[in-house]
Chains A and B, each alone.
Chain A
Amino acid sequence: MSAWPGMSRRRGQLQTGSSRSGRGFYYQNRRVLIMDTPGTEVVWAGEGIAQFSMDVLQAVFSTLSRRGLDMVRAKAPYRHGDLRDSCYAFVDREATRVLVVVGAEAKHALYQELGTSRHAAQPFIRPTFDYLAAQVGPALRAEAAARGA
C-alpha cells in the first residue's frame, strides 16, 4: 500500500537506524508503530510529495500571474497608456513560498490606486489581488487533480 498513490518513484521502506525491528520508526521525535497487517507496506514519499506540491504551486501561480497581468492592465485607467504599459505581474519564489507579485511602475500608479483630493481613486491593483486571491484555492485543487492527486 502506498501512502501516496502514483508517487512511487522515490519509494523506500522505512528501515532507518531508529527502526531495528522494521515495525516502527521515529518521526519528528514521535514513535510511530506500523500495524502488523499482512501486505502492508509503508512507503516514504515525502520528497516526492514536496516536489509534487511545488510543481503544482509553480504551475498555478504562473497561470495566476498571467491572468493577473491581463486583469491589472485591463483595469488600469487609460489616458496615455503609460500606466497600463508599466503594469507587471510575476511569480517570485522564496524557499518554500511562492508569491505572485502584481503592481505598476508608473509614478502616478499609487495616486490612481488611492485617489487624491482632486481625483477620485480608480483602484486597479487591489481588485486584481482580490480576484487572484479568490482563485488560488480552486486553481490549486484543479491543478492537483489534473496531475492525478
Chain B
Amino acid sequence: MDVSVDAFPDLTGAIRAYIRSLTVVTTMVADRVWIGWPKNADGSLKLKVPPYLAAVLIESGRGGLGPDAEAPYQTERVDISCLGPNEHDANLLWRTLGPYLVDQTRRRPSGFRAANTLVSAVYQEGGPLRSPDPETDWPRTVCSYQFRYCTVPLSELVGV
C-alpha cells in the first residue's frame, strides 16, 4: 500500500497557519512566526540581533504522548517560544497568544482547524518559563504544549 506524505497532517505547519491567522498576534510579530530558528545554509542565524524583535518560534520533535491505540489521533509535544525586545514584552506576547491555544476560562474546548489539520485539543504542559536564548541573549518566554490532532487530513473527514 502506498501512502503519500500529504496524507499525514503537518501539525507544525498547522500551528503556524493558526497563529498567523490571529490578528492580535500578527500585530505584534508581523510575519515572524517561525518553525525553528531561521538559519542560513551554513547554519548561522539568518537575523542580525540585536535588535530583538518580537517573534513566535515553534519547535516540534520534543516527544509527546504518541498515537492513540484505536482512534486516528496523535499527541505531540511542541515548544512555543515568544521572543521580544525585553522580558516583559516576550511575556506579554505569550499572554496574548496563550489564550488562543488554551482557553484560560475553560469555557470552550481548545483546538483549531488550520492547514488541512484538525487539532482537537491543546494541553499546556509546562511553563511559561522565562529563558533568554543563551547565544543571543534574546529575551523569550517558553511554554510547552501537547497537541492532540487527527491523523486523517481534514479534507478526508466527512461531515466536519
Contact = CB atoms under 8 A, between A and B. Distances in A.
Contacts of B65: 130, 133
Interface string B91-128: 00000000000000000000000000000000000000
Interface of B: 37, 45, 59, 61-66, 77, 79, 81, 131, 133-136, 138, 142, 144
Interface string A44-69: 00000000000000000000000000
A118 B64 contact: no
A121 B135 contact: no
Interface residues of A, number: 15
Contacts, number: 39
Which of A114, A116, A119, A133 gathers the greatest number of chain B CB atoms within 10 Å? A114
7 closest Cβ contacts across the A-B interface? A118-B135, A127-B63, A117-B135, A116-B135, A117-B37, A130-B63, A117-B133
Given A111-B134, A117-B45, A118-B135, 16 more contacts: A114-B79, A116-B135, A117-B136, A117-B138, A118-B45, A121-B61, A121-B79, A123-B61, A123-B63, A126-B62, A127-B63, A130-B63, A130-B64, A130-B65, A130-B66, A134-B66
A134 B134 CA distance: 33
Which of B64, B66, B133 gathers the greatest number of chain A CB atoms within 10 Å? B133
| Binding site secondary structure of chain B | loop
B55 to A, nearest CB: 11
27 contacts: A110-B131, A111-B134, A114-B59, A114-B81, A114-B142, A115-B59, A116-B133, A116-B135, A117-B37, A117-B45, A117-B133, A117-B135, A117-B136, A118-B45, A119-B135, A121-B61, A121-B62, A123-B61, A123-B62, A126-B62, A126-B63, A126-B144, A127-B63, A130-B64, A130-B65, A130-B66, A134-B66
